[in-house]
Chain A
Amino acid sequence: MTEPILKVNSVTKCFGGLTAVDDVSFSVEKGEIVGLIGPNGAGKTTLFNVISGYYAPTKGSVVFQGNDISGKPPYHLAGVGIGRTFQVVKPFAGLTVLENVTIASFLKHPKKADAERHAWQVLETTGLADRAHLSAAGLTLAGRKRLEISKALALDPSFLLLDEVVAGLNPTEADRTVELIMKLKAQGLTILIVEHIMRVIMNISDRLVVLNFGKKIAEGTPAEVSSDPHVVQAYFGEEAA
């Protein structure tokens, strides 16, 4: 078997006295979609922030394509192929949609004309091309989530971190985003995704990692995980209740 693209080795992240991520280990193989699930406050976003370089792990390490990247700044990680979205979307509000995506395209296309052309291609893939010249501040929530994905994709990443890109969308919009994710997988992208909506995460993930209070409590295929008693209690139990 080949080397996993991402290895999370006993990562712990503390904020003062609070341990948001507690000794979590797992790995992601090339071409997989791995779902990261867990109740609110379980530490999913924090783990994303560690992987994408926003926080240095308090303990443990993150290995990407064989290199230890723990503590490396986010702009460095974007350069080695890690793209991410933000749960709390971060559009450049004063700029147009096209400009937003062009900025991300500069990473691989230093010339402005090339970057713009590339940004158009991305916008066409994500379905925002018709709004390219609008101010990013004027987009609906669905539009902003899509813009998040567009910006991450414009980096031409090999590994994508998606933080709740479906939550908050209506069913039609959600289906379109799921379609988009499946298409990206078909193109060979490796994806780690956080999502609350079970219908979505169970369908698209090859494997799931479950967090609760910062700890990994289960890992496996959607079928294995959904029959795991710990998970049922910690997570589905809560939903069912």
Chain B
Amino acid sequence: MKTSRGAAILAIITAALLILPLVVHDTFVLRVLTEGIMWIGLAIAFDVIAGYTGYLNFGHGAFFGIGAYTIGILMMQAHLPFWVALPLGGVAAALTALIAGIPTLRLKGAYFAIATWALSRAIQQLALNVEFTGGPDGMRLEAFLNPLFFYYLMLITVGAIFLVLWYLLERAPFGLKLKAIREDEEGAKALGLNPTMLKMQSFILSAIPTGILGGIYAYWITFIDPSSTLGDLVSDQAVVMVVFGGMGTLFGPALGAILIFAFKTIFWAYLSDFQLLYLIILGALIAISVIFIPNGLWGTLVKRKAVARPQEKPEPASEPAALSAVAVPEEGN
């Protein structure tokens, strides 16, 4: 019953988003919405590896930037059409995840956090230092100025990402297996789970949508450079959104993405002289979330009951008769 209500709410939101451009013609609003939707996608993709699997990728932005650059390079230098280049952005991100994951996913989480963060810094350096990316000057893409097209493309892509992730993580066995890895990797092995393999699948699953979103972003904004697409802001924001919203769920990061992105938009609109203050607020928000709401907003407000229910006495025995032969309910102790 609860899920059906959730589904109904989602359907209403989706319908509203679908017809919105018919009502609102302001390009600024459309642009903000497009980017907001993109951030929902980036946050839930980040949460696949962080929240569900328990491995922090502090260089999530690298996948975004790699997707963006792949599309930029393929379209401008190989003259491939957008629709051919776009999936290849996802492929490039997946390959990066594979290469980064092989040495690190066998190891403890601290190594993974370090290595992903260092990788993202290294990739930014690489983009700054090689020719074919345009170096620090960045790269201009062929302009296709159709805000409505990008709004719908973003909406449909993120909608699809959400559905696929929801199915894999909440409906299919895969999500539970990832959670088992998160909770106890050694114990999971005894149950037939191969942690390294699952972590790798999770990491790739997190990378592909991120790369694709980077690709759409590049074509939409028509200009990419190492600081906008490969800088640390993308990773930092993803971390804030997910930690503040609530890890290990799809709705938490989505909520976090909406709130943080709304805040950012207002902040940058009115306080554009204080962009550095935004960085301070992001950092502080992470630290404060960790201390006061370690389960995030979603986990604290919505799922509070389910998280750590203290167990004193067994629930009233409403057990089927079949088990009473062996199993006598334990008395509370």
Contact = CB atoms under 8 A, between A and B. Distances in A.
Contact of A140 (B307, B311, B320): B311
Interface stretch (B78-86, B190-198, B225-233): B190-198
Contacts of B1: none
Contact of B192 (A75, A90, A128, A131): A75
Given A95-B183, A138-B310, A102 B176 contact: yes
B172 A106 contact: no
B319 A129 contact: yes
A59 interface: no
A99 B331 CA distance: 23
Nearest to B194: A75
Interface string A132-169: 00110111101100000001101100000000000000
B142 interface: no
Nearest to B307: A135
B314 interface: yes
Interface string B289-310: 0000000000000000011111
B309 A129 contact: no
B304 to A, nearest CB: 12
Dominant secondary structure at the B interface: loop
Interface in B145-200: 171-173, 176-177, 179-180, 182-184, 186-195
Contact of B189 (A73, A106, A138): A73
Given A110-B173, A130-B314, A138-B311, A78 B190 contact: yes
Interface in B269-292: none
Interface in A66-103: 73-75, 78-79, 83-84, 86, 90-95, 99, 102-103
A58 interface: no
B19 interface: no
A228 interface: no
Contact of A134 (B186, B309, B320, B323): B309
A104 B189 CA distance: 10
A138 B330 contact: no
Given A74-B189, A78-B192, A124 B333 contact: no
A127 B183 contact: no
Nearest to A108: B192
Given A92-B183, A130-B318, A155-B192, A124 B323 contact: yes
A139 B330 CA distance: 11
A114 to B, nearest CB: 10
Interface in A179-193: 179-180, 183
Contact of B311 (A54, A134, A176): A134
A86 B184 CA distance: 12
A106 B190 contact: no
Contact of A103 (B177, B308, B319, B328): B177
Nearest to B198: A75
Contacts of B314: 130-131
A183 B186 CA distance: 28
Q: Which of B189, B248, B307, B310: most chain A CB closer than 10 A? A: B189
A124 B319 CA distance: 8
B131 interface: no
A124 B327 contact: yes
A173 B186 contact: no
B110 interface: no
A130 B319 contact: yes
B333 A170 contact: yes
Nearest to A180: B326
6 contacts: A73-B194, A86-B187, A94-B183, A124-B319, A128-B327, A172-B331
Interface of A: 52-54, 73-75, 78-79, 83-84, 86, 90-95, 99, 102-104, 106-107, 110-112, 115, 124-131, 134-135, 137-140, 142-143, 151-152, 154-155, 170, 172-173, 176, 179-180, 183
Interface of B: 171-173, 176-177, 179-180, 182-184, 186-195, 248, 306-311, 314-315, 317-320, 322-323, 326-331, 333
Given A94-B182, A138-B308, 15 more contacts: A73-B189, A90-B186, A92-B184, A92-B187, A94-B248, A95-B180, A99-B176, A103-B180, A124-B327, A126-B327, A131-B311, A140-B311, A151-B191, A152-B190, A176-B328
Closest 5 CB pairs of A and B: A127-B327, A138-B311, A90-B187, A78-B192, A92-B183
